[in-house]
């Protein structure tokens, strides 16, 4: 019997091949040679790539035997995840391989900004001895503000505390207990920007976080302050940053990532008070080796038909076919849940599964729920293995509750959580009909039945005549088409909950305008990521 074929499309460490072991036929190809790639991938059961090889819909269609695409790194921009999922191909990556490297690069940028290291080196290399020009500042007793206190943010906090800095952080999903454990003072974003001598950002790139550091936020910073971004290009508005740097609104910036890469046309590259690196966050020997070994292990699991913790699209492994359709449902409900819970950090989450489905092993549904909850919350890629760790790091208690009795639906799942401010959030969902349509059937105690769509708006307001006409007019005039709508209430004249599905994202300004127009207590837009 022939061995499964594993195709290595880019140079990987010898340890990666060693980790695959003797059970596979290892072949190599230059992944940037399109014709060669399409020829070789036809017989591959698995392909290992880094960032240069494009595993798009065409490549996937040319690979009828393909079971798994493994990216030896974090980013997945070169892999068509939707096409892979449609073809039943698992996609895996190495979500934690670069966290130490990224944290250390961040500290390197901060030190370089504080002591003008690149500029001083350049001047001396040109024969210029300018000691007084490059007088810097100490990190000792300075305030460092970390935006996003996930795994990388926590590593940075630990390293900077060794310099005697005062570390403050903004992260709406971190409890005060977790912040205290890390020795970090939690503050609002405005407080962080106003107090910090160095600001470093470590957030995921979502519609909500894109451009989150813009002209208004930069204006709040000290004129002596520096900002660093090694996370994702676009978190900082580059036009606003250029203006702030050229007018002296802030002192300098360290950038490893850009909106467009390579940033050959960016005016930021011409400024003396900017330090740039070419997206080196994961560019260390150790990170590359960790990434290769990690995905090699995932390939072994995938081709053996076992659960693959780092799968980003499907769980794989020995999961009953009756349970499997619930995985994407729970991931989407998790995103709805985190959108509803954005006002305060979570303290605990219950994943309740009710109905006939509990006769099977449903433990993967808890993992799927956590994966969904953290998908748009943290900067790193969320998987089935690191989602529970992310909850633990944030001091969130998680329980799986099962009950064979489901009164209204054959099967129903509920995410229920308590927030640090004492409030509670819940969302329930089910699969209906022969097509297994994903539906939301409850939000915060209000009964609804709404198909899950990419763009959702949830509103809570006092029930009274004319409200629908008001927000319908506001959205209509802005060109936002309402695809579906349902209103639920407990009593006439009381609180009413309205859920809208819309065809396109709603600008934050419009959302605020609608909220004011109807005097809504809650107005949340939730963008579901597939």
Q: Which are the catalytic amino acids?
A: 232, 261, 279
- Specify the 3-state DSSP secondary structure of 28: strand
Of residues 446, 401, 403, 407, the one with CA closest to residue 427: 446
- DSSP annotation of 133 reads G
**Contact between 496 and 487 (Cβ < 8 Å):** yes
Residue 36's contacts (CB-CB under 8 Å, 6 or more residues apart) are 29, 30
- Specify the 3-state DSSP secondary structure of 102: helix
CA gap 326, 362 in Å, rounded: 9
Neighbours of 463 (CB within 10 A): 16
What is the number of alpha carbons within 13 Å of residue 514 lying toward its C-beta? 29
Distinct helix (H) and strand (E) counts, the chain: 17, 22
CA gap 491, 386 in Å, rounded: 43
Q: How far is CA 150 from CA 96, 147, 168, 178, 452, in A?
A: 12, 9, 13, 11, 28
| Total number of residues shown for the chain | 530
- DSSP annotation of 153 reads H
Q: How far is CA 420 from CA 58, 172, 175, 393, 423, in A?
A: 48, 11, 7, 15, 7
DSSP letter string, 389-424:
HHHHHTT-EEEEEEES--SSSSEEEEEEEEETTS-E
Beta pairing partners, 7: 27, 47
CA gap 254, 270 in Å, rounded: 13
Torsion of Cα atoms, 218 then 221 then 225 then 227, to 10°: -40
CA gap 228, 198 in Å, rounded: 8
What is the number of alpha carbons within 13 Å of residue 495 lying toward its C-beta? 10
- DSSP annotation of 458 reads E
């Amino acid at each position: 019997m022939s061995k499964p074929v594993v195709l290595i499309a880019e140079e990987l460490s010898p340890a990666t091949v060693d980790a695959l072991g003797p059970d596979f036929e290892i072949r190599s190809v230059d992944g940037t040679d399109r014709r060669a790639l399409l020829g070789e991938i036809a017989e591959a059961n698995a392909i290992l790539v880094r960032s240069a090889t494009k595993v798009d819909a065409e490549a996937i269609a040319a690979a009828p035997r393909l079971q798994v695409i493994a990216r030896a790194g974090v980013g997945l921009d070169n892999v068509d995840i939707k096409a892979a999922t449609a073809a039943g191909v698992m996609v895996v990556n190495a979500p934690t391989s670069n966290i130490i490297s990224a944290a250390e690069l961040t500290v390197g940028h901060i030190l370089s900004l504080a002591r003008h290291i690149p500029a001083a080196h350049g001047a001396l290399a040109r024969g210029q001895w300018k000691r007084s020009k490059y007088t810097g500042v100490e990190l000792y007793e300075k305030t460092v503000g970390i935006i996003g206190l996930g795994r990388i943010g926590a590593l940075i906090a630990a390293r900077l505390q060794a310099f005697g800095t005062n570390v403050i952080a903004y992260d709406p999903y971190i409890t005060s207990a977790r912040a205290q454990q890390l020795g970090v003072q939690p503050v609002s974003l405005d407080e962080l920007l106003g107090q910090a001598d160095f600001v470093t950002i470590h957030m995921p790139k979502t519609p909500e976080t894109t451009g989150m550091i813009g002209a208004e936020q930069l204006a709040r910073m000290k004129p002596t302050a520096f900002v660093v971004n090694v996370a994702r290009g676009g978190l900082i508005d580059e036009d606003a940053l250029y203006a702030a740097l050229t007018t002296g609104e802030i002192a300098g910036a360290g950038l490893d990532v850009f909106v467009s890469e390579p940033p050959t046309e960016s005016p930021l590259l011409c400024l003396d008070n900017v330090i740039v690196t070419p997206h080196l966050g994961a560019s260390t020997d150790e990170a590359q080796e960790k990434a290769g070994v990690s995905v090699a292990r995932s390939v072994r699991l995938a081709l053996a038909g076992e659960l693959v913790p780092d799968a980003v699209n499907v769980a794989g492994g020995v999961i009953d076919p009756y349970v499997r359709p619930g995985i994407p449902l729970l991931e989407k409900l998790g995103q709805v849940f985190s959108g509803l819970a954005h006002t305060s950090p979570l303290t605990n989450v219950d994943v309740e599964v009710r109905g006939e489905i509990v006769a099977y092993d449903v433990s993967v549904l808890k993992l799927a729920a956590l994966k969904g909850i953290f998908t748009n919350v943290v900067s790193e890629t969320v998987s089935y293995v690191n989602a529970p760790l992310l909850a633990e790091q944030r001091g969130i208690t998680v329980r799986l509750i099962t009950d064979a009795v489901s009164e209204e639906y054959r099967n129903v799942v509920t995410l229920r959580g308590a927030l640090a401010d004492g409030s509670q959030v819940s969302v329930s969902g089910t699969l209906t009909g022969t097509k297994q349509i994903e539906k939301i059937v409850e939000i915060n105690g209000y009964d609804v039945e709404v198909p899950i769509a990419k763009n959702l708006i949830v509103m809570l307001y006092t029930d009274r005549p004319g409200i629908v006409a008001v927000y319908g007019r506001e959205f209509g005039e802005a060109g936002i088409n309402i695809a579906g709508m349902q209103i639920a209430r407990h009593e006439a004249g009381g609180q009413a909950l309205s859920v809208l599905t819309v065809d396109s994202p709603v600008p934050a300004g419009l959302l605020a305008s609608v909220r004011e127009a109807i005097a809504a207590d809650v107005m949340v837009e939730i963008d579901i990521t597939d």
